[in-house]
Structure 1
Amino acid sequence: MEIKVINRSEHQLPHYETLASAGMDLRANVEKPIVLKPLERAIIPTGIFIELPIGYEAQVRSRSGLAAKKGITVLNAPGTIDADYRGEVGVILANISSEDFVIENGERIAQLVIAKHERAIWVEVDALSDTTRGEGGFGSTGTK
């Protein structure tokens, strides 16, 4: 699948690191380093603008290494970029660690996954079909 892109950064386009990768790394496009203090959040620019085909979305997700090792996460993960959005791709990063985190220009800060989606048509009914689970949710099936 081809996706139209404008790159207003000095960095390479997002790309797959391996043949089986689902996500492509997004890089920070900042003039000077940004310090994210504990429990702070910020929208980090990437310099990337995309045009997706209708029926597709781009999902912005945390990088597992940053999350596990540094406590840096994409706040609304996965963030959705709709097919009709033409602005710059920004990443809402949050620091949930107890230490400052410095975001440098060109640093890989998130992943971008392109995904096909369906459009739902709501059908109002008076009742839903019965299941064994029923209305049980939020841990109702147990932990072990």
Structure 2
Amino acid sequence: MEIKIKSESGIVPAYETAGSAGMDIRAYLKEPVELLPGQRALIPTGIYLEIPEGYEVQIRARSGLAIKRGIGLVNGIGTIDSDYRGEVKIALINWGDEPFVISNGERVAQMVAARYEKVEFTVAEELSETERGSGGFGHTGV
């Protein structure tokens, strides 16, 4: 699949290893941004995408930043829709207990391209039975 990209910094997201599912995205900053514990910030990347219809780009946290520094995404996983043409910005939060400084060019998130299906709902009075039924959160044990 091909996605058109415009990059103000000249840096394009890239796979760091041959087996990577996600491409690392870098911050595009004029000056460093300090995230205090509990603080959120929208981090610019300087990239703009033209995603084919039927696809989305998911923005995900980088596992190393999450476990080592407590840095995650405010919305868990972000979605960039195929009709969005604005700058990709990363909604970061500092879940850690120490300030974290983000510098220009730092890898702040990863993105994964994914195909999706549009659905149509059929309103029903009843749903079919399954072995699981309505068992939810933790019903099979911890």
Q: Residue 2 of structure 1 aligns to which amino acid in structure 2? A: E
TM-score normalised by L of structure 2: 0.97
Runs of 5+ in structure 1 lacking a partner? Answer: none
Partner in structure 2 of residue 94 of structure 1? 93
Residue 30 in structure 1 maps to residue 22 in structure 2: no
Alignment of 1:6-21 (within 5 A): 6-10=6-10, 12-21=11-20
Structure 1 position 5 matched with structure 2 position 2: no
Moved more, 69-78 or 102-111: 69-78
CA RMSD of aligned residues (A): 0.8
Secondary structure of the corresponding residue to residue 93 of structure 1: strand
Give deviations 1:75-109, integer Å, cap 9, x for gaps. Answer: 21210000000000000000001100000000000
The offset of 1:122, in angstroms, is 0.4
Q: CA–CA distance in 1 between the matches of 2:137 and 2:74?
A: 21
What TM-score does the superposition give when structure 1 sets the normalisation length?
0.96
Return the alpha-carbon distance in structure 2 between the equivalents of residues 78 and 44 of structure 1. 15
The 2-side partners of 1:124 and 1:4 are apart by 38
Cα separation, 1, equivalents of 2:23 and 2:76: 15
Q: Deviations over 1:40-59 (max 9, x none)?
A: 00110000000000000000
Partner Cα distance (2:53, 2:77) in 1: 19
Question: Once superposed, which parts of structure 1, at least 4 consecutive aligned residues long, lie more than 4 Å away?
Answer: none
List gaps (5 residues or longer) in structure 2: none
- For 1:1-144, list aligned pairs within 5 A: 1-10=1-10, 12-143=11-142
Amino acid at match of 1:23: G
